[in-house]
Amino acid sequence: MKTKLFLIYILLLGANYSFSQPIAPKLRVGLVTDVQYCDCNSEGKREYRKSLDRLDQCITEFNSAKVNFSFHLGDLIDRNIDNNLGPVLKEFSRSDSTIYHVLGNHDVKGVYSKGFRGKKGDKAFNKLMEYLSMPTTYYSEKRANVVFIVLNTNDLAQYSIDAANKKRKGKEDEYLKMVERTKQYSDKNSLDYNGGISEKQLEWLKETLADAQKNHDIVILFSHQPLFPENGMQVLNNREVLNVIDKFDCVKAMFAGHHHAGGFAYYKNIPVVTLEGMVEVNAYAILDIYSNKLVLNGFGKVESREFDFKEKQK
């Protein structure tokens, strides 16, 4: 009798122990933005040279946490891309897993205004894409049943059109039409360092979201300039992009950089996180993705948050 009771006790103890174990996330993703490195003196809050030390800590933490992959959300350098890109990519090369990149306004402007590795205009831009191992300026990656969408919010931008070669004439026309359309709601938005999304990219986004919804996938969306809130730092035609997202229920979170102070808001029950810029503070995060929620583990100035998947507000 005592033997039976002892066996039952052991079984119950084992069951209780197994239930108490934390459930591992299906994916673990590193997030960082606006390293914006420059071998130059600090200006205001921007401590350009300190970015590499902060990035070193970040990559060490990502490796220790065994992230599946990571995203840098734009602005690798501040200026002089020929001299400053190499040290940043060397630091990223320490990562044990793949680093995916989002184009930032400094990256794009630097290439078009100064050239890159002896190239000019579109040839310089294509060279940068090679260095960053980016298949296209906007793209998606699917792991398990999670689709990560990377937008190019510099697709239509004054800072690239002014400096680019004449082959971008079509882009300039589309840019000017977009600015006219969006003046109704983005009059406070800056044209100097914000960009917009082309009609072609919007169509691609719609198709990609439709496929994800059909396959019952969840979507995490990345951009450099935020889509929300409207505080003057957002994508120029953000409402056109949000109108596309409104048609689907699969988008569970949106992450961005650009606004170094960081920020957080909900757009119709979708959490929108703007990560703090590493050029100003120690800031990065690890995103744990579960079947029913997201857990954002913040480091430095990034606040930790948890988001249960909710139905989007109509």
What would the pLDDT profile of 7-55 be if each residue is shown by its tens digit?
A: 444 454 554 444 444 688 999 999 999 999 999 999 999 999 999 999 9
- Coil vs helix vs strand at 129: helix
pLDDT digit string, tens, across residues 133-147: 998 999 999 999 999
Residue spans per domain, the chain: 25-307
User: What's residue 113's pLDDT?
Assistant: 84
25-307 to CATH, choices 3.40.50.150, 3.30.470.10, 2.60.40.790, 3.60.21.10: 3.60.21.10
Percent of the chain at pLDDT > 90 equals: 75
User: What's residue 17's pLDDT?
Assistant: 44
Closest residue by Cα to residue 112 from 56, 51, 171, 55: 171
Contact 99, 35 (CB under 8 A): no
Residue 164 has pLDDT above 80, yes or no: no
- Average pLDDT taken over every residue of the chain: 90
Residue 160 has pLDDT above 80, yes or no: no
Pairwise CA distance, residues 283 & 241, whole Å: 27
